[in-house]
Amino acid sequence: MTEVGLKFTTNSAKNSQPTPSDTESGSESERSPRQRRLDKKRQRAAKHEAQADTEELASSDEEPIHLKVFRYDPDVEAKQKPRFDDFHIPYKRGMTVLDVLIYTRDHFDSSLTFRHSWQMAVCGSDGFFINGQQCLGCQTQISDLETPIRIEPLPHQSVLKDLVVEMEDFYERMDEIEPYFQTDDLPEGELEEQRQSRKNREKIKMASRCIWCGCCTSSCNPAQTDEKYIGPAAIVNGYRFYFDEREGDDIKDHRLDLLGKEHGVWQCHTQFSCTTVCPKNIPITEEIQEMKRESVKRDVKFW
């Protein structure tokens, strides 16, 4: 693939034009307060523009980013064999992996396919395998990666096209633990809140940050060898609702049955790979172990 460079030009001609304050006649005291305010605004704008041009020139001195992107298209005969395509993208400070993928799609190859949405690390749609680790594209800074940057779809998932994987199996595992709030103890007043203590909120705060990106399940060896294992993401969501004080005892018992079954928490090998790759820093392995303890405490009683 042809390497493409990028030239940055400064708008020096525009910057050299005289500002209104240069052409207006009269001393500072002769101009109205409104004119003086406008002059200051124009001066600040010119300063910011010059600073932006300087930063753009500095970034143009950086080496282009070398990407190796996984490609596969089952609908095109010439592309049915998986391969890696090379791209060289101009670097700008603050770029993320998702930024360079969007640039690649928009400037080099419009057929490049991947999922993305908000670019705020909350939708979980852009999970990729970047330089050998599950990551969110919108959260991973180019400056933190070694080149060439190798971008692949999440492992252990069926690839639909390029970087897009089938997520139905993941969502089915999540649905098994009924990841939604259930209670029989509603407030009496129609507009009354169902209150939660600050202590309890802190207890489940980290687990509630799960964005269903699938990175942890993709990194989990038991999830790949046991098709019925619900996986770390599902257990974390079960943890979040099990420890919510607003759920009733019957519902808690039911949820513990879902998590403590044969292909539930006991399939965890405590490898910490899920915790390592979680983009929201959820202590997944610790929470899985806590659910194991809850299951033992319920089933083993001496009173």
Structure confidence by residue, pLDDT tens digits, 136-150: 999 999 999 999 999
User: Nearest CA to 214 among 174, 263, 170, 166?
Assistant: 170
CA-CA distance, 48 to 145, in Å (whole number)? 30
CA-CA distance, 118 to 129, in Å (whole number)? 19
CA-CA distance, 39 to 26, in Å (whole number)? 13
Q: How far is CA 7 from CA 56, 58, 75, 95, 238, in A?
A: 10, 12, 37, 18, 52
User: How confident is the model at residue 15, as a pLDDT?
Assistant: 41
Please give the domain boundaries of the chain with CATH numbers for all domains: 65-165 (3.10.20.30), 168-185+198-299 (1.10.1060.10)
Whether 31 shows a pLDDT value over 90: the answer reads: no
- Quick one: tokens of 237? 């969501």
Structure confidence by residue, pLDDT tens digits, 261-303: 889 999 999 999 999 999 999 999 999 999 999 989 887 765 5
CA-CA distance, 58 to 79, in Å (whole number)? 38
Q: Do 195 and 203 touch, CB atoms closer than 8 A?
A: no
Whether 5 shows a pLDDT value over 60: the answer reads: no
CA-CA distance, 101 to 87, in Å (whole number)? 10
Average of per-residue pLDDT values in the chain: 86
Structure confidence by residue, pLDDT tens digits, 85-119: 999 999 999 999 999 999 999 999 999 999 999 88
Cross-strand bridge partners of residue 83: 71
Which amino acid is residue 25, in one-letter code? S
User: How confident is the model at residue 37, as a pLDDT?
Assistant: 84
User: How confident is the model at residue 128, as a pLDDT?
Assistant: 97
User: How confident is the model at residue 55, as a pLDDT?
Assistant: 58
Query: Angle at the Cα of 94 (from 85 to 45), degrees rounded to 5?
Result: 130
Q: Do 155 and 220 touch, CB atoms closer than 8 A?
A: no
Strands 65-71 and 149-152 come out as parallel
Structure confidence by residue, pLDDT tens digits, 64-84: 999 999 999 999 998 999 999
What's the per-residue H, E or C state across the chain?
Answer: CCCCCCCCCCCHHHHCCCCHHHHCCCCHHHCCHHHHHHHHHHHHHHHHHHHHHHHHHHHHCCCCEEEEEEECCCCCHHHCCCEEEEEEECCCCCCEHHHHHHHHHHHCCCCCCCCCCCCCCCCCCCEEEECCEEEECCCCEHHHCCCCEEEECCCCCCEEECCEECCHHHHHHHHCCCCCCCCCCCCCCCCCCCCCCHHHHHHHCCHHHCCCCCHHHHHCHHHHHCCCCCCHHHHHHHHHHHCCCCCCHHHHHHHHHHHCCCCCHHHCCCCCHHHHHCCCCCCHHHHHHHHHHHHHHHHCCCC
Per-residue pLDDT, averaged over 206-212, amounts to 96
